[in-house]
Amino acid sequence: DDDTVYTVQILMSDTGGGHRASANALRDAFDVLHPGKFECDIVDIYTEYGPFWPFNGYVQGYKLMAKYPWTWDLFFRFGETDFGLWLNEFLLTTFCYEPFKECMNRPSRSTNKRADMVVSVHPLCQDLPLKILKDLDGGKERTTPFVTVVTDLGGAHKTWFNAGVDKCFVPSDALNKKAQSRGLDPKTQIVQYGLPIRKGFWSTTTNAESSQQSTSNKKRIPFFSKPKNIINDKVSSNSKDKLREQLGLEQDLPTCLVVGGGDGMGGIVPISSALGKKLGSMNDDDDDDDDDDDDDDCPNYQMVVVCGSNKEAKSTLENMDFGPGVQINVQGFVNNMDEWMNAADCLVTKAGPGTIAEASICGLPCMLFAYLPGQEEGNVPYVENAGFGKYSGNPEVIADTVFSWLSSPETMESMKEAALKAARPSATLDIARDMADIAFSAKTKSSTKEKVLVAVR
């Protein structure tokens, strides 16, 4: 039926930027695949429906713990013990069952009924929502589809995985294994495409081949209908030269992009300063045999620093002198990260899953400088084993490593290839397409059942 609108409730909480970003990406993918057919209700269920602290204070709590990573480490690890898992479920069931049930029962705009399908993009939105859904479905068995889309990359908390889901979409081999170790069936429940990421990264100048690669060595046919045109449009217009011109960057300089987390955390000032000084000191020797004084002022490298919402870092770096060898461009929070990444040659960043997946799509070698213990720890081997990056917490080592990359075209090329090989630019559309199929078949099933019931009556 052409007028049918399918309603999907996406459960998350804004602990870190990635959950909402993934939810928005999935909503955008539905819109591209089936324009006007899907209505997504994206809800921070803890903040909006948590009855009292700490349940409605997870966002601030997470921010605070991320500032003092050892506290997060402790919390994460305790939460993975049998007792921690039990306690979490006990507390949530005791205090959040009714308010969360109200959330999951809320009417959708277009149908005025609760959602046809529930999706979790958060580690704490499996166990209790699954119980509630069964209850809402009459108490005997759950009929409303429920899927998990894991938004971590190389590591993830145990609570992401509940064997009661219809599907669990995982982005990497490591998380595929972890899902299996939590009792999910690799044949019927676990699906591995990649991380859902923003629309700007679904297609880039450089990912055309990698999209074919990623789909041929994974179990999926490539996505070929409508978005192919979107991909081609993008490929033709977003050449690196054009992007550099648009962004006010120098055309021919090896360019390094430094990015903090979405909130600018992770020591971006000492790292940018060490790297800037290293690159800034690199023109004198090169120009030794050149008598023209002007050449001494010509930079040989370019460094862009995206400080996110960290205003203090931005003004500190803007007022710093790095030497004539490097051209510096300092940005605050940018909304066009896909353009900055496509204009760059390599990336220095904290090990955030979204940023790594985006960089990999753009073919950027990654120097990782920080990670959150727990779920981000696995992102380091994810990048290192795939061959497109290294980790160090030491600003001098970071500066030396990045300099050695930028001055070796062969290294850059092989790391770029490795990054593209690991990239999964069609993941978001692949996941949304599978989810849409689940919603379609659930609706068909339920309407057949209704017809049978009417006939029997």
Cβ 70 to ligand UDP, closest distance in Å?
17
Cβ 60 to ligand UDP, closest distance in Å?
15
Q: Which is nearer to ligand UDP, 263 or 434 (CB)?
A: 263
- Residue 247 in the binding site for ligand UDP (CB under 6 A): no
Pick one of 262, 280, 365, 389: the residue that binds ligand UDP (CB under 6 A): 262
3-state secondary structure of 7: strand
Count of chain residues binding ligand UDP (CB under 6 A): 17
Cβ 192 to ligand UDP, closest distance in Å?
19
Cβ 67 to ligand UDP, closest distance in Å?
12
Element (H, E) at 447: helix 427-456
Is 5 within 8 Å of 39 (Cβ atoms)?
yes
- Output the CA torsion 23→26→28→31 (10° steps): -130
- Residue 85 in the binding site for ligand UDP (CB under 6 A): no
Q: How far is CA 77 from CA 89, 328, 418, in A?
A: 16, 40, 32
Indicate the burial class of 251 (C-beta count within 10 angstroms; 0-12, 13-18, 19 or more). exposed
- Residue 354 in the binding site for ligand UDP (CB under 6 A): yes
- Write down the residue that tokens 């390599």 correspond to: 346
- Residue 325 in the binding site for ligand UDP (CB under 6 A): no
Is 255 within 8 Å of 249 (Cβ atoms)?
yes
Cβ 105 to ligand UDP, closest distance in Å?
30
Helix pair 208-217, 227-237: axis angle to 10 deg: 140
- Write down the residue that tokens 């809800």 correspond to: 43
Identity of the amino acid at 260: G
- Residue 254 in the binding site for ligand UDP (CB under 6 A): no
Distance of CA 233 to the CA centre of its chain: 24
| Residue span binding ligand UDP (CB under 6 A) among the ranges 124-132, 225-233, 349-357, 444-452 | 349-357
- Residue 425 in the binding site for ligand UDP (CB under 6 A): no
Pick one of 79, 99, 196, 261: the residue that binds ligand UDP (CB under 6 A): 261
Task: Give the separation between CA 189 and CA 164, rounded to whole angstroms.
Answer: 9
- Residue 18 in the binding site for ligand UDP (CB under 6 A): yes
Cβ 331 to ligand UDP, closest distance in Å?
7
- Residue 306 in the binding site for ligand UDP (CB under 6 A): yes
* Helix residue spans in 352-394 (DSSP H): 353-361, 379-386
* Helix residue spans in 127-285 (DSSP H): 127-136, 173-181, 208-217, 227-237, 240-247, 268-280
Cβ 334 to ligand UDP, closest distance in Å?
4
**With helix as H, strand as E and coil as C, how does 228-265 read?**
HHHHHHHHHHCCHHHHHHHHCCCCCCCEEEEECCCCCC
- Residue 17 in the binding site for ligand UDP (CB under 6 A): yes
| Residue span binding ligand UDP (CB under 6 A) among the ranges 14-22, 135-143, 237-245, 362-370 | 14-22
408-436 burial, b at 16+ Cβ within 10 Å, e below that, comes to eeeebeebbbbbbbbbbbbbbbbbbbbbb
**Residue number of the CB atom closest to ligand UDP:** 352
Cβ 79 to ligand UDP, closest distance in Å?
18
Q: Which is nearer to ligand UDP, 362 or 429 (CB)?
A: 362
| Residue span binding ligand UDP (CB under 6 A) among the ranges 13-21, 28-36, 288-296, 390-398 | 13-21
What does the DSSP 8-state code read for residue 190? E
- Residue 324 in the binding site for ligand UDP (CB under 6 A): no
| Residue span binding ligand UDP (CB under 6 A) among the ranges 92-100, 212-220, 257-265, 428-436 | 257-265
Q: Which is nearer to ligand UDP, 304 or 420 (CB)?
A: 304
Q: Which is nearer to ligand UDP, 18 or 363 (CB)?
A: 18
- Residue 200 in the binding site for ligand UDP (CB under 6 A): no
Is 17 within 8 Å of 62 (Cβ atoms)?
no
- Write down the residue that tokens 């859902």 correspond to: 196
- Write down the residue that tokens 């068909």 correspond to: 444
| Residue span binding ligand UDP (CB under 6 A) among the ranges 245-253, 313-321, 353-361, 442-450 | 353-361
Pick one of 116, 287, 358, 430: the residue that binds ligand UDP (CB under 6 A): 358
Residues that bind ligand UDP in the complex, under the rule CB under 6 A: 16-18, 21, 259, 261-262, 306, 308, 333-334, 337, 352-355, 358
